[in-house]
Structure 1
Amino acid sequence: MPKMNKVEAAPLGSALGGPPAPDPLARLRTALTLFFALDGFLFAGWVVRIPAIKQQTGASAGDLGLALLGVSAGAVVTMTLTGRLCRRFGSHPVTVAAGLLLSLSIALPPLTHSALALGLVLLLFGAAYGGINVAMNSAAVDLVAALRRPVMPGFHAAFSLGGMLGAGLGGLVAGSLSPTVHLLGLTAAGLVLTGLAGPVLLRHPAPTAPETRPAGDARGPARATRRARRLVAVFGVIALCTAYGEGALADWGALHLSQDLAARPGVAATGYAVFALAMTAGRLSGTALLERLGQTRTLVAGGATAMAGMLLGSLAPAVWLALLGFAVTGLGLANIFPVAIARAGALAGPGGVAAASTLGYGGMLLGPPVIGFLAEWFSLPLALTTVAALAGVAALIGWTTRGATATAGQG
């Protein structure tokens, strides 16, 4: 095995057989897991208060839609820049800084009283959201390489669990707390959690071993850099295909159940919950699945499963069959996004994570409006079949590029 420096050798030695208590890698894994959970928790807490903030600002549906673009615009711009920041300052400090900014900025939307002001503060919130997603995924890629175990799905499971907790808590307090009090409470919780987990990241540098240096490293040959960039784009497209489905189901799943299958409001509302629970369960078991099947087979099997599940979910004639389809879709999509981001990071470091994340989260933002346009032109069930189609595309890309990624030393 190639010689490793002092900072890297001790953590790896502990991970491979040392006592668990002083293991820096275990502490880093716990701290990063908390940041993933915090990200999901805060974002979900904001989302459930959008109706109340719309009423507070007096915004029309169109004005609100324009204001909400602030989140997307801020996130996309920051994602393209965060890779450079991670290379210059390290992914750990950038993760902590973005966590602080996300915690502080979530308190701003309920303080606005116009759609314009809301859009401006959402630019800041979106910037923090995009920054923390790239930075913590970059840090997770380094930790996965040091642990030599495919634990990336566990981090994304924490994000999903945090989102479920944030949405559930928001629903419970929506009737008794104003958006201002609620989101200020989330700011306090975010600052406390960042204060607990942040020092762990700041004390320990990213534990990347020399042999896991990204293929796109500036010290590598130009040919490898160009090839790595092409492969990063491929994994970004895979992430886009699967995130498209998550965004589409979040916004249109309940409407499909109520409008097309005459489900009662309570039953329709469980549609996305079933999908999210299945996705979380899939991610919690993702490490074991990756160790058993490998990354390529996990991508292909996940895409094929999601394709079958969404065809059932969108075209089933009964509510219970549609819910079953949503659950199968969640299981299929669960590990594709984290694997795609991990592969992009392994190929090209923080820049690869940034590029793939931008494409992936772009797919999540693209899904809902595309489904809406297609539903207006054709029908909502037919529009939802595009989720199945793109899941199939992700599986096909994963299979056809297996040789290329293996040659790059990542397969």
Structure 2
Amino acid sequence: MTLAQGVRQQGLGGLILPGPEAAPYNPAYAAYPPAYAEAEGFRLPLGLLRMVLPLFPETNAPAYFYDRQTFKQRFDALSFYDQLTHLDSFLFNPARSPDEVVFSIGQNEVRITDGQGNPLNLDFSVGGGGQTISALTPPPLLRLPLETGVPGLGLELGLIYGSGGLGVEASEDLKQAVGAGDLSRCRSATPSPCALTGRTNFISGLGLNLAYATPLPELPDFAGKLYAGVRGEGFYGLGYLEAQATARPTFDQNGNPNGTDYEVRYFYSVPGNGQGFGVRADAGVVVDYQGFTLGLGVRNLVGFIRWSGTEVTVQNGSSSQTPAERQSGGFAPALFLNGAYRLPLEEGSLLVGADFSSLDSSFHLGAEYALGPYRLRAGAGLEGGFKFGLGGGVRLEGFSLDTALTVHQAPVVRGTVYGLALSLGF
């Protein structure tokens, strides 16, 4: 899950258009001409400002080092996560962490809420759901191309920093208890088999990838063009965090819920306390036919990743830690499909596009209307819940401006989060 998106992309509802910018998802796009690309100015780091200014204590992580008291009282981990995964936009109302998880019995129903009585989402997943370690690293946050002198052969050094997503999942017993409105199955054992579990992970490192992309020879009786690409990536880890929190109901001697038992497990690896490395292979194809473009990328055709570090368990106020490892390898492909078409109009043109990722079952659909130097964009999609974008831009000689209003579902808790993104070019 990448932490940053362009302002144009956000105005299109998160849509990834065909072209060289989509090469991290499909290596064949490295050879594809930038038919749908537009120069974008400097992205104003509005989201980053929210994470470092004391004016916003709920997302200000650096306050831990200079104002520990405010950090303990005001910092909110879920707000921080929400803003961190939307770095290029300022979130007006980032998601707030639930104060606690409350299990309660009503008339013919079982309710699971936060401390204010707001219902919690029992089945939420975004960006892979934070489920497990994978050789499929996020697209680089920063990319440094290196010259090879060979046509079609690309060498790139990248700074990788991203999230494996966030997920909340109810155990099968809890799902059945909520569906039946009866907590009896939750009392069948100690600890209770009814559990609500949240997971997330973060990864950072340096990636070096070697890729080859080229147009394919023309096919008889086919009026379109084909492109193909392959890529291999080596990864050196700078840090990895994997966290899991579980909440279970507790009961009094009469079988009534009287509280919640919490358990937190996390694994971390940093230089000096473990190490990480990995390799993987990707492939992709692109078809250009009568104005339509369609691309299919297959990442992590085969891969391997390994982290060594420390696992910490916190339960009932006590903690323990042990050396541990995380490892994944083999055939675990993630498909990425996208396409676009530019429709000429009497006045201007209309660009429409869509994409789909099997990694998190996300889908986006967007459109951009261009009239001279002016742009109007809109898009929507499913990415851990409904997502919407509305934006516009202007392209003048020596000046460009893009803006986007974003809407997405708050992770874990129910609600809608609004954001604003801007870019300027001179």
Higher radius of gyration, 1 or 2: 2
Higher strand share: 2
Higher helix share: 1
State the TM-score, normalizing by the size of structure 1: 0.21
